[in-house]
Amino acid sequence: MQNKWKIVMPTPVPAAGMALLKVRPDVEAVVLGKFSTEAFHAALKDAHGVTLGLTPFGEAECEAAPELKVAARIGVGYDTVDVPALTRRKIPLMVTGIANSVSVAEHAIFLMMSLAKRGADYDRMVRENRWGDRFGELPVDLFQKTLLIIGFGRIGSRTAKRCLAMDMEVLVYDPYVPPAVIRGSGCEPVANLKDGLARADFVTVHCPKNAETVDLIGRGELAAMKRTAYIVNTARGGIINEDALYDALKGGTIRAAGLDVLDKEPPAEAHKLCALPNIIFAPHMAGVTAEALARMAAATVQNVLDVFDGKPNPDNVVNREVLA
């Protein structure tokens, strides 16, 4: 019987997560103050769990943590985690499931609306007293427009639900989701990405970034789109080829884009896309709201406690093979 479980937190977990520990006298949380690799490794020596924000966790950290039972990301992405290193040691990597899914879906719609309604342009016109410019290019409605959702998982499916409520026609490209499931959600599956792009007035990207999806949308895919189309990416940078997107926006191949993510974040210098007038940005904040942070904090700590209690939620385990 384990007398005391130890969780190492390289960065503080929001209050909603810490509250779960107050009723667990069998668990000790160690929050590192001023972070350093040396201090992190020293704390891991007798750690049973670790919560990870943006802190990298790889082979060296695994070696420093011989007692580790679980690693839990405060979020759903795990780009900075060496999953195979954990898997080799039968350590589950946990993510927060749907904790921020609705937040990202709302942000995708926010970017769509901002582009369609020319939000940033109109704000500048008022600030600069350029009211006479407001009729230059009229905004458009989302009503009865066609949306293509790329990736029909936790976020894509929630985006679809909200867009259907706005009377949009929703197409879905996701070769891993059965067409019957997509149709059952009120959407139309498309088997060919370019065919879906050609029909869409709006495109939102919600698929994971991996070897199959890097540069999923390049010059050929952008060329297939309508010249009046808008594209939004709240997934990961690099799924849309940024050089191809720059040329498409500058040359009028598509109308505009909204990006919450870039291939390199933050870029080493001002990104060339920033010079274009027909693109809006957010600094990778789609899944970060006050409510989402609270939900993610609670889910992160609960994921660790569930492993300690011998009942990990398989839906939140990245490397499910370790549960076998």
C-alpha distances in angstroms, 298 versus 22, 199, 290, 302, 311? 12, 41, 13, 6, 16
- Cβ neighbors of 119 (< 8 A, separation 6 or more) are 113, 280
Asked about 206 being catalytic, the answer comes back as no
The residue among 121, 103, 116, 122 whose CA lies nearest residue 147 is 116
Q: How far apart are the first and last CA of the chain?
A: 22
Residue 48 is a catalytic residue: no
Phi then psi for residue 215, to 5 deg, are 60, 30
CB 267 within 8 A of CB 244: no
Identify whether 221 is a catalytic site residue. no
Where do we find the tokens 């342009």? 121
Cα(315)–Cα(217) distance, integer angstroms: 29
The active-site residue out of 236, 255, 271, 295 is 236
Q: Which of 89, 134, 162, 284 is catalytic?
A: 284
Peptide bond into 266 cis (omega under 30): yes
Q: What are the strands of the beta sheet with 49-52, ordered from one edge?
A: 27-31, 5-9, 49-52, 70-73, 93-94
Distance CA 258, CA 271 (A): 14
- Alpha carbons 207 and 236: distance in angstroms, whole number: 8
* Orientation of helix 101-116 relative to helix 119-127, angle to 10°: 60
Nearest 5°: phi and psi at 166? -95, 15
Record the tokens describing residue 255, joined without a space.
Answer: 């109308």
d(Cα 162, Cα 41) in Å, to the nearest integer?
44
Alpha-carbon radius of gyration of the chain: 22
What single-letter amino acid sits at 38? E
Determine which one of 137, 265, 291, 321 is catalytic: 265
Q: Which residues are catalytic?
A: 236, 265, 284
